[in-house]
Amino acid sequence: MILILFGPPGAGKGTQADLLKEKHNLLHLSTGDILREEVSNNTQLGIEAKKFMDSGELVTDDLIIGMIKNKIESTTNVNGFLFDGFPRTISQAEALDLMLIESNKEIDKVISLEVDDNVLTKRLLSRGRSDDNEITIKNRLDVYKNQTLPIKDFYKNSNKLLEIKGDSSIEEVSSEIEKLL
């Protein structure tokens, strides 16, 4: 099983990812964690990625996809994989699909947590992070809408998208996800 959790900042992706990975024995794939692991292990991909990072540039999609492929191929004893916060662009989604097809795998479902902006703002403000205020939160939500939200149509067109109302309780959202899976 390969799942993607999709939604804006504050939608509850991390919380639901924790519940899903435990219940279904999935490996939670965080691109940030994979990137740090590759760099610290001094792998060829990690060395290449570090060059970008050291110069303040974003690591290329090809490198990220290569790292994800390595992680998927080197992981055993799991029933599947769970992406949270990746892909963020259509090109990343296309590259991920292609890589999975080459590995005889495919994304089973994309779970989109739908939450109203006002609820998201309240949730993010309640986290108490020093850099979160209404202006920065609005900017984060705008970036999400402009750069990441188009992926939703990409997955809707492939009949893999499940939309779930994410402003209910953690338990209710989790129960709804389980019903749809």
Known active-site residue 13:
yes
Active-site hit among 69, 123, 140, 156: 140
Active-site hit among 88, 105, 123, 156: 88
Active-site hit among 13, 21, 71, 109: 13
Give the whole-angstrom CA distance, residue 153 versus residue 151.
5
Known active-site residue 23:
no
Give the whole-angstrom CA distance, residue 106 versus residue 8.
23
Known active-site residue 109:
no
Known active-site residue 127:
yes
Known active-site residue 129:
yes
The single-letter DSSP state of residue 5 is E
Peptide bond into 9 cis (omega under 30): no
**Lateral strand order in the sheet of 80-84:** 26-29, 80-84, 2-6, 109-114, 161-165
Amino acid identity of residue 30, one-letter, is S
Active-site hit among 51, 122, 129, 145: 129
Instruction: Show which residues are catalytic.
Output: 13, 88, 127, 129, 140
